[in-house]
A and B are shown apart, each in its own frame.
Chain A
Amino acid sequence: MLAGIDYFIVIAYIIGMLLLGLYFKKFVNSSEDYFLGGKSLPFWAIGMSIVVSDIGALDFVGVSGQAYRYGISVGNFDWVGSVPAMLLAAFIFIPYFWRGGMYTIPEYLGRRYNQKVRTIASVTWILFFALDLGVLFWASAVLLNVLMGWPIWISILATAGVVGLYTYFGGITAVIMTDVVQFIIMFIGGFALVFLSLYEVGGWDNMVDKIATMGPEYRNHFDIIQPQDTKSPFPWTGILFGLTFVMANAYMIGNQSIVQRCLTAKNEWHAKASMIFGSALKMFIPILVLFPGLMAVVVHPGLEDGDQALPMMIKSILPPGLVGLMFAAFFAGLMSSVDSLLNSTATLFTKDIYEPFIKKGADDKHYLKVGQITTLVLLLIGVATSPISSDFPGIYVAIQTFMSYFQGPIFAILLLGIFWKRTTEWGGLSALVIGIGFAVYLNVFKEQFFTIEDPFLYISWWSFLLGFIINVVVSLLTKKHTEEQLKGLVFSSKILVENKKL
């Protein structure tokens, strides 16, 4: 379905990304440059990068599909599921990490608890990111193939080649600055679809009126707050307890690929501002990914599979040229997700595994090279393992579910670690292990415990709560850390007024 102009736009976009990314090679002279951009980046670039790396090509289709089925309540994930957590991160957690000169979240956990907690957290993230890479390659390529007829292996190799080259040479600076362009492309492509779709349905009010007359199943389509007994996965109780209190915070505060971007900021103000600016941009994401799904209810009613909503809208609404732009937006989503995974995993491996366990005290150039080689190896693993995904159709969802096991317990230990001096290494370790185990147990036996379709929000809340309680109880039963051990690692009102180096 791509016309000549569309091919031109997509190819120009891919070449442009490659050239832009390679330009930043000249700024990489040390491991700090490679992993933290030499702590020189401005808030606006980091904010855009945080937002775009969070939206993949699959999310465009998946969220539109959910909006088609469940309505506007899907927007909770980018609204209440992001903004409060990003403000908490901006004012409390990010300044600690930034002032402490940290590279990774597990590094903080290692300083606050012990090396075991750091290693468990780091290995879990590395496994998740590495598995996700191959799956993401394959799932996105299949999506692009279905949507545009683009050959699967060309998608994979083009993405791997371009992203691999600029991430290998330019490190996180190249990742963030290419994300800025990807953000702009994504917004232009997404808004073009939204505006043309709105025109097609006769405006917002007309669309709301039409959907309201389509039957009882659409009764709550424009209620952002869904009742507690809804059959959709988004009851307000799940949104409040599971999403707002746990998953959003775990994601914005405990996710290496998000936090690492803020650590590249040129000073503390830019680090905080990047999160707040990102939270403002985040509020526009539902317009891009959710509204087309809502409008498809009017334009293409009765679709059996909600995930067909966005492809149908693209085919029926967009003219040549804009299809290419939308395709470039999908590519932008894929590239920004892949470059994040590559750079974050390389950072975790180099700083949390290689440096402490394999070669301590080497010179900085050595760690820079290790980071670059890790990037390359990960990329090759991702490409080589991507076809395996075709044999396991549910693997993408399975990996995301696997990650949700981890969110509650990791947030429990981060929260107590920073706010409660009495938390001990054994408290943190047992909370992490038992909390993850409990989340797995709840998920395996979810039919016995939960009444809603997909209870991941509830599972994250209950595993967080158990992790929190375990951490408190075990900490009270074990030997507390000394003041010297906790220096600069636990929240103190002093940090609010003193600019002391931690």
Chain B
Amino acid sequence: MFNFDWLSGVSQETAKMIFLSLYALIGLLVLLLPTEYVYQGIAKEDRHWWNNLKLWSIAVLCILASIYNHF
């Protein structure tokens, strides 16, 4: 049990899909955050798309997913 033998039947490809699904889930949760919350700390007039932290996070997750997809 301690060695996760019960997951020995899962192929590497399936395991890779689990990781990619995890990134998709995290991306979805980030998108669900209220926009007001991710801009907290910036004055209303200074809020632009480039300091939207949701976009930053999605970009990082996309790069991460492409690395795992490639290798």
Contact = CB atoms under 8 A, between A and B. Distances in A.
Contacts of A321: none
A80 B41 contact: no
Contacts of A462: 2
A244 B60 contact: no
Contacts of B12: 223, 225-227, 236
B2 A91 contact: no
A72 interface: yes
Contacts, number: 121
Interface string B30-52: 10011011111110000000010
B37 A225 contact: no
A267 B40 CA distance: 8
Contacts of B33: 91, 496
Contacts of A90: 53, 57
Given A83-B64, A280-B59, A450-B3, A268 B41 contact: yes
Interface in A395-436: none
B60 A87 contact: yes
A225 B15 contact: yes
Nearest to B63: A283
A72 B70 CA distance: 12
A350 interface: no
A491 interface: no
Contact of B41 (A235, A270, A458): A270
B56 A276 contact: yes
A272 interface: yes
A485 interface: no
Interface string A260-274: 000000011111110
Given A268-B41, A280-B60, A499-B40, A79 B68 contact: yes
Nearest to A230: B12
Contacts of B57: 87, 90-91, 276
A452 interface: yes
B28 interface: no
Q: Which of A240, A452, A495 has the most CB of B within 10 A?
A: A240
B40 A83 contact: no
Given A83-B61, A283-B63, A269 B68 contact: no
Contacts of B60: 83, 87, 276, 279-280, 283
A283 B38 CA distance: 22
A453 interface: no
A269 B41 contact: yes
Contacts of A244: 22
A226 B61 CA distance: 21
A87 to B, nearest CB: 6
B27 to A, nearest CB: 9
A91 B57 CA distance: 10
B16 A229 contact: no
Contacts of A226: 12
Given A225-B19, A236-B15, A240-B19, A268 B68 contact: no
Interface string A78-119: 011001100100110001000000000000000000000000
B40 A95 contact: yes
A280 B57 CA distance: 9
Given A224-B71, A272-B53, A235 B4 contact: yes
Nearest to A277: B56
Given A228-B4, A237-B4, A79 B56 contact: no
Interface of B: 2-5, 7-8, 10, 12, 15-16, 18-19, 22-23, 26, 30, 33-34, 36-42, 51, 53, 56-57, 59-61, 63-64, 67-68, 71
Given A84-B26, A269-B40, 15 more contacts: A80-B64, A80-B68, A87-B30, A224-B71, A226-B12, A267-B42, A269-B42, A272-B38, A272-B41, A273-B51, A276-B57, A280-B56, A280-B63, A283-B64, A458-B2
